Amino acid sequence: MLIYNTTYHASAAVYDDFVKWLRSEYIPHVSAGGVLRLPQLARVMDGSDDAEGRSYALQFRVESVEVLNQWINSDGRRLAAEIVRRFGRDVAGFATLMEEIDTD
């Protein structure tokens, strides 16, 4: 199983609205598709002053790179464009793909 992580930085002007939108629209929409599963949202505790904004990590589990690429080419790009449309330069993000490793 793979972990698809996107880390976002939201400016102080929009971080409350951004998290609200992630919870109410983005995460439910992505989860409803069934391709990306088990969402987790976390605030990145980097010690910076909230006056500059906040960073968040949003993770989903995905079956394979091929399945993820199919999702990115369909819903993923459209949702990324929606973030830009809604929040402009007040939200920036980057994605990381990780592989789960057994701890045993």
Low-confidence stretches of the chain (pLDDT < 50) are: none
- Determine the topology of domain 2-99 in CATH: Alpha-Beta Plaits (3.30.70)
- Whether 99 contacts 64, CB under 8 Å: no
Residue ranges of domains in the chain:
2-99
Q: What is the CA radius of gyration of the chain?
A: 14
Q: Among 88, 90, 62, 56, which residue's Cα sits nearest to residue 76? A: 62
pLDDT of residue 50: 73
Mean pLDDT score of the chain: 94
